Structure 1
Amino acid sequence: MTRSTRSGSRTSADRLARLLNLVPFLLARPGIEIAEAAGDLGVTERQLREDLELLWVCGLPGYGPGDLIDMAFDGDRVTITYDAGIDRPLRLTPDEALALVVALRMLAETPGVANREAVERALVKIESAAGDRLGAPVAVRLPADNRRVAELRAAVESGRALRITYYSVARDETIERVVDPLRILVVGGRAYMEAWCRRAEGMRVFRVDRIDAVTRLAEPARVPSQAVPHDLTGGVFRPTADLPLVTLRIGRSERWITEYYPCERVEPGDGEWLVSLRVTDLGWARRFVLGLGPEVTVVAPAELATQVHAAATAALEAYAMPPPSAAADPAASTSSR
């Protein structure tokens, strides 16, 4: 890798690594020329000056005089005059060590982590250093089917195609599919498998807890070169303008909908609110509305309102009809005295 390539890297991870190395580097070389430091660190002078400007606002909580990293400039030379304690060995309190162990264990349990061995090594070092201060051993389990996640992760690593039996909530049906798995990931506390679905001829994201059965096939996975993984940073469901728009009038007890689902429009009122949201299809929306309380009314589309009314009417009629045995036995309808 050339120096120009290194100096052009502006990712947050790269810059954080540079900043963490920069302070001890300068502490060991007081009064070093900026040009010499930039050459030793493999960055441009402009990039080093930008990093030094950022260090000026870094430091300890409080972020006032005596808390922030400070430095002195003499022409083109720089000296760290206050390092905010960065040169002292890190000493964690029991609570800090426990929080770090829990975070690392969650990271180790997260599907798709590339360098799990590095996480495990860090855990061993922290737990060894903390000793008895951590108290009881820490065990972390993510809210997912760990056995199925491990099975799917192994399938991804083996590069084999899978036959899965999957329950689709949108269609309210269970379908068998042959997929070419790409990766396992966790979004919002749930585990998902992203794969090329041969049935749909496109990339699909499958919730692990809705996969009822998995069979590893002998043939290798064949993810087309043009297949692009989904950007799931904003969540699994990404509403688009081509999806059906549903408008509901909701009461106070159903306002949780606006926090749980991505809504396109929310119009608060004195009592009822108007809420509009995109759905995958009207079949899912019908089951969703029927599962809500009485303080929900479908405003649009008319087709959904008709479907909900018909389903609710059919349910009421089923409850109103006496069972066949009662209709055949007149004594069953006679009240006791």
Structure 2
Amino acid sequence: MSQRLSQRLSRLLNMVPYFVANPGITKVEAAAELGVTVAQLQTDLNQLWVCGLPGYGPGDLIDLSFEEETVEVTFSAGIDRPLRLTSTEATALLIALRALVELPGTADPSSVQGAIAKIESAAGVAAGGVVTNAGGDPEPESPVVATVRSAVRQGHALDITYFSASRDAVTRRTVDPIRVVLVDNHSYLQAWCRHADGVRLFRFDRIDAATELDEPARAPEGAYAESASLDLFHDDGTLPRARLLIAPDHAWVMDYYPMTDVVVRADGSVEASMRYASQEWMARLMAGFGTGVQVLGPTELSESIRARAAAALEMYRQPIDR
């Protein structure tokens, strides 16, 4: 969930108790206290008007009077009362919170641990289950993760030192944070990379260092789209590209390595392109596939693979010391 959507959800959840406690308050006054424009407040009220309990009939939905200049709640649908969880609901919530603790960057671990303790205390043994930290102190949050979370929350730019697995290199770059996302059970910082001039995903456990800068993040407006660059692979035109011929029984290779420009031949073999940052790494990878993957180009990569294969054969010719 993006930061802006998260803020709106929090505001919507608090608006009903707020208006119940302040009956007849004007829209202008409420907007000022809630930190939004009158137009945004009107949008939020229209949203609340179609929210409520399952069934979603006239007696289930939140009802408000806001056609004039003032706002009043005529039916709260129970949202102004403290939430009462069944043991099943409490157990499900505890499982979700414990999973959240294991995902860096998604929340403040101490706050999550506090919520877990309160729910376990209120729900009792029926929902207690396995205690996350066996009564000990919560695991401290990594300073790097805390810095990244702070930058996302405050809307500040970040200076990070990052290990790129695809390049097998550590780089330093300035990024403009957008949001924290989860992909394949890993936490990533989605950010505008000023070096790459595009949106990139940075895995939290590969960020070696982070410094929150005293300047606002300035990612282009289009970068904030929910689906922007959530793909873990980007066809970086600055990297060399190998053209490969993959045998039919080695088609599984395409499930493990990012390929583009895929062409299936009549015999079932596949031509595809793959970017790489290190020729030494690419030659080692291709040599490992044997005859299953043939390099069609570039020439220097093919020559590097031949040299590596010749060196390996020469090692077999060496006499064995007894």
CA contact (8 A) 1:59 1:68 kept: yes
Q: Secondary structure at the match of 1:90?
A: coil
Measure, in 2, the Cα distance between the counterparts of 1:45 and 1:228.
26
Establish whether residue 104 from structure 1 lines up as the match of residue 97 from structure 2.
Answer: yes
CA contact (8 A) 1:258 1:266 kept: no
State the match for 1:306 in structure 2: 303
Measure, in 1, the Cα distance between the counterparts of 2:292 and 2:58.
56
Deviation at 1:73, TM superposition (A): 4.3
CA contact (8 A) 1:243 1:281 kept: no
State the match for 1:196 in structure 2: none
**Which of 261, 276, 279 pairs up with 1:279?**
276
Q: Secondary structure at the match of 2:285?
A: helix
TM-score (norm 1): 0.56
5+ long unaligned stretches in structure 1: 1-9, 141-145, 155-165, 180-184, 193-204, 212-220, 327-337
Deviation at 1:280, TM superposition (A): 1.7
Establish whether residue 290 from structure 1 lines up as the match of residue 287 from structure 2.
Answer: yes
Establish whether residue 50 from structure 1 lines up as the match of residue 46 from structure 2.
Answer: no
Measure, in 2, the Cα distance between the counterparts of 1:64 and 1:253.
58
State the match for 1:128 in structure 2: 121
5+ long unaligned stretches in structure 2: 134-138, 147-162, 173-179, 189-201, 220-228
Q: What does residue range 82-101 of structure 1 map to in structure 2 within 5 Å?
A: 82-101=75-94
CA contact (8 A) 1:111 1:186 kept: no
Whichever of the two has the greater Rg, that structure is 1
State the match for 1:22 in structure 2: 15
State the match for 1:248 in structure 2: 244
Deviation at 1:19, TM superposition (A): 1.0
Establish whether residue 13 from structure 1 lines up as the match of residue 23 from structure 2.
Answer: no
Measure, in 1, the Cα distance between the counterparts of 2:7 and 2:231.
26
Q: Which has the higher contact order (CA 8 A, sep 6+)?
A: 2
Q: What does residue range 1-337 of structure 1 map to in structure 2 within 5 Å?
A: 11-29=4-22, 32-59=25-52, 69-111=62-104, 115-134=108-127, 136-139=129-132, 234=230, 240-251=236-247, 254-268=250-264, 271-292=268-289, 294-315=291-312, 318-319=315-316, 321=317, 324=320
CA contact (8 A) 2:91 2:128 kept: no
Q: Secondary structure at the match of 2:271?
A: strand
Measure, in 2, the Cα distance between the counterparts of 1:278 and 1:224.
32
Moved more, 298-307 or 72-81: 72-81
Q: Secondary structure at the match of 1:12?
A: helix
CA contact (8 A) 2:296 2:302 kept: yes
Measure, in 1, the Cα distance between the counterparts of 2:41 and 2:283.
59
Measure, in 2, the Cα distance between the counterparts of 1:151 and 1:52.
39
Deviation at 1:152, TM superposition (A): 8.5
The one-letter code sitting in structure 2 at the alignment partner of 1:43 is: V
- Residues 185-211 of structure 1: CA distance to partner in whole angstroms, max 9, x if unpaired? 99865699xxxxxxxxxxxx89969x9
Measure, in 2, the Cα distance between the counterparts of 1:55 and 1:263.
46
Distance 1:12 1:302, change over 3 A: same
Q: What percentage of aligned pairs have identical amino acids?
A: 41
CA contact (8 A) 1:171 1:283 kept: no
CA contact (8 A) 2:23 2:71 kept: yes
Measure, in 1, the Cα distance between the counterparts of 2:62 and 2:270.
51
TM-score (norm 2): 0.58
Measure, in 1, the Cα distance between the counterparts of 2:270 and 2:276.
19
Deviation at 1:125, TM superposition (A): 0.7
State the match for 1:198 in structure 2: none
Deviation at 1:37, TM superposition (A): 3.2
Deviation at 1:48, TM superposition (A): 0.7
Measure, in 2, the Cα distance between the counterparts of 1:64 and 1:293.
66
Measure, in 2, the Cα distance between the counterparts of 1:123 and 1:241.
47
Measure, in 2, the Cα distance between the counterparts of 1:42 and 1:86.
21
Measure, in 2, the Cα distance between the counterparts of 1:106 and 1:68.
32
Deviation at 1:45, TM superposition (A): 1.7
The one-letter code sitting in structure 2 at the alignment partner of 1:250 is: I
The one-letter code sitting in structure 2 at the alignment partner of 1:241 is: G
Q: Secondary structure at the match of 1:86?
A: coil
Measure, in 2, the Cα distance between the counterparts of 1:41 and 1:223.
31
CA contact (8 A) 2:242 2:273 kept: yes
CA contact (8 A) 1:246 1:300 kept: yes
Deviation at 1:59, TM superposition (A): 4.4
- Residues 193-236 of structure 1: CA distance to partner in whole angstroms, max 9, x if unpaired? xxxxxxxxxxxx89969x9xxxxxxxxx997979999x9x8588
Distance 1:191 1:311, change over 3 A: farther
- Residues 235-261 of structure 1: CA distance to partner in whole angstroms, max 9, x if unpaired? 887653211112323355555554544
